[in-house]
Structure 1
Amino acid sequence: MTASETGRRNPDLQGFMKRHGLFAGLIGVHSLAAMTTARFLGLAYDNTLMQSLATLFGVMIPLFLMILCVRTLLLMAVFERPARPLDAFVGKIRGVLVDPERMIGGAFALFCLVVFFDSFTYFKTVIPHVQPFDWDVAFAEFDRLLHFGYHPYELLKPLLGTPEMTTFINGVYHFWLFLTYFVLFLVCFSVTDQRRRMTFLLAFVLTWAIGGNLLAMAFSSAGPVYYQGLGFGETFVPLMDMLNRFNEVSPVWALNVQDLLWEGYLRDDRLAGGISAMPSMHLASSTLLALCGFAYARWAGLLLSLFTFLILLGSVHLGWHYAVDGYAGIILAILCWKLAARLSRHQPANAQEKAVETTL
């Protein structure tokens, strides 16, 4: 039996705990803080953990696995061309499923993230109860000052000011959710580089906790789409009127989502997801995806950087964010990535990495 086979069959439990201890600990503290906040504010902690797990294991994971299976089959058909394709495919699948380091570590990381998103959502939805939307006017004015006296959406009109381009950028913007979860899934079950894996996971939790909760509460704002509804004036009425006109020609799906969030806000429905603009978590998480891409391959980093740029354009053009929300999200993600890289410097190698070191 080779060293790598031994590593696969006998997982290093002590190393596993060391690798995931800080990650799980941060999420545990975050969840405890959410429950404590709920008790202090008297606002019920609506635990949606089971619902989230059902969605994850009933919908998202099967979809991700199907995509990975199709990818494996395509690679085999184009590059490997084995004499017995079915046996080769089954062998690859079996090799993944019988790898305890990959399966246990991946399942544990996914479960921790579901727990984290549960407490994250609670914090996000109680923001208006703790801190009213006080920063929109300041951010709108800051945007105008930064962009030579223009609001950023006005500068984007020559590029995106058609129904077709708006539908395209809206499609990219909505694709963000799928791509983020897919990359999280891949990283959770990765066994090739534990330091790189944990850097991404720690950076993800830090970015969302600091940006999506702490900073969102400190700089509470709703975004251009809700500017008029909150009584701040008609600065962004031309933008929203334009999007509604475009929607009559080509679909602008963001408008439906924005209406649902607004209705949830008016009903004080915390299950609706909450409204928060500063910083843009779309931009923050997309930046993390790009940094993760560069950690794996230059082409992946460049492709995900282009995706991040399109998300920045979409966040402004669709009325979700002020441009400064996106800039802040990008800066925050880079800082959290650097911090996470330092925290994960001494990650212990897993069994596969030790096996490789043994053979060198």
Structure 2
Amino acid sequence: MGRTIGKTGCLFASCTAPWKITHFIFGNVYSTLTINFLYNIWIFLIWGFLLFQIYGLFGKHHRSHYILSFSLCWIVIGSFFALILSSAGPVYYGHITGLEDVYAPLMERLQAMDAQIRTDGGFWEIWALDVQDRLWLNYQNAATTVGSGISAMPSMHVSIATLMALSARRIGLWFGRLMTGYAFLIMIGSVHLGWHYALDGYLALFLTIFLWKLADRIIHWAETARLPSPRRTAPPDQARG
């Protein structure tokens, strides 16, 4: 990815920062660690959920619907929109724009929490900080590795978490509520940890719901097209006199 300006950050830096709201509500160390943990296990959940769908325990339509939606999300949101809306997240705002880093207080707050945890000898750390440093180093060295890249908009974390929630709602009430709650926390975590601007998540949410509905129509059309045509039956022979 070329050296691009954090467009969303420039547009909304002067507004009330959503991260201030999340840190007001979830501002203690343990809440932040929990959010960071849930954000990190996303990578395991998405592939586990995909394998779960491949088994097709809930019917061929649901399996095809989810797999097509999953593919469309990565192609449309994670590739096409990520390219045309290229922007780096708040953590890289000062590096990319060369302007006063309005997100420095957020990163300083996270670093202070991490330092407190290390001082107290805690087992857990705010892993996001180390990952963000590694991604920036790869970006500076133009290194291409698995999971590298600093493009923030739209948020694939929010997109796939939303997709899992939409699928879970079709499977069962409580499973749907659980995954909806998880998607909500991923939306919060994307801002809370400095990965994304709130708008990155909003756009990902809207696009994912649209692609989910589009995939449902495509699968329904494909299933209908495969139905056998009704056979023409010859009129019954007239009774002989």
Q: 1:249 to 1:218 in 2, by over 3 A?
A: same
Match of 1:236 among 103, 108, 133: 103
- The residue type paired with residue 338 of structure 1 is K
Number of matched pairs: 215
- Return the TM-score normalized by structure 1: 0.57
Partner residue in 2 for 1:335: 210
The answer to whether residue 133 in structure 2 is matched with residue 133 in structure 1 is no
SS in 1 for 2:83: helix
Pairs within 5 Å for 1:147-166: 149-166=15-32
Q: TM-score normalized by structure 2?
A: 0.85
Letter in 1 for 2:170: A
CA contact (8 A) 2:4 2:87 kept: yes
What's the secondary structure of 2:102's corresponding residue? coil
Percent identity, aligned pairs only, is 36
Shift of 1:227: 0.7
Q: CA offsets per residue over residues 243-278 of structure 1, 9 Å max, x none?
A: 111001231110011111111111111115211100
For residues 219 and 198 of structure 2, the distance between their equivalents in structure 1, rounded to whole angstroms, comes to: 32
Partner of residue 199, structure 1: 65
Mapping of 1:181-330 within 5 angstroms? 181-230=47-96, 231-250=98-117, 251-271=125-145, 273-330=148-205
Structure number having the greater helix percentage: 1
Q: What is the distance in 2 between the residues matched to 1:165 and 1:178?
A: 21
Q: Distance in 2 between matches of 1:257 and 1:195?
A: 38
* Residue ranges of structure 1 left out of the alignment (5+ in a row): 1-126, 350-360
Q: Which runs of structure 2 are paired with 1:69-108 in the superposition (5 Å)?
A: none
Check the 8 A contact 2:168/2:176 in 1, yes or no. yes
Tell me, in whole angstroms, the C-alpha distance in 1 between the residues paired with 2:222 and 2:171: 18
Distance (whole Å) between structure 2 residues aligned to residue 285 and residue 191 of structure 1? 20
Q: Which runs of 4+ in 1 moved over 4 A?
A: 346-349
Unaligned runs of at least 5 residues, structure 2? 118-124, 225-241
SS at match of 1:201: helix
Contact kept in structure 1, 2:9 and 2:93, CA below 8 Å: no
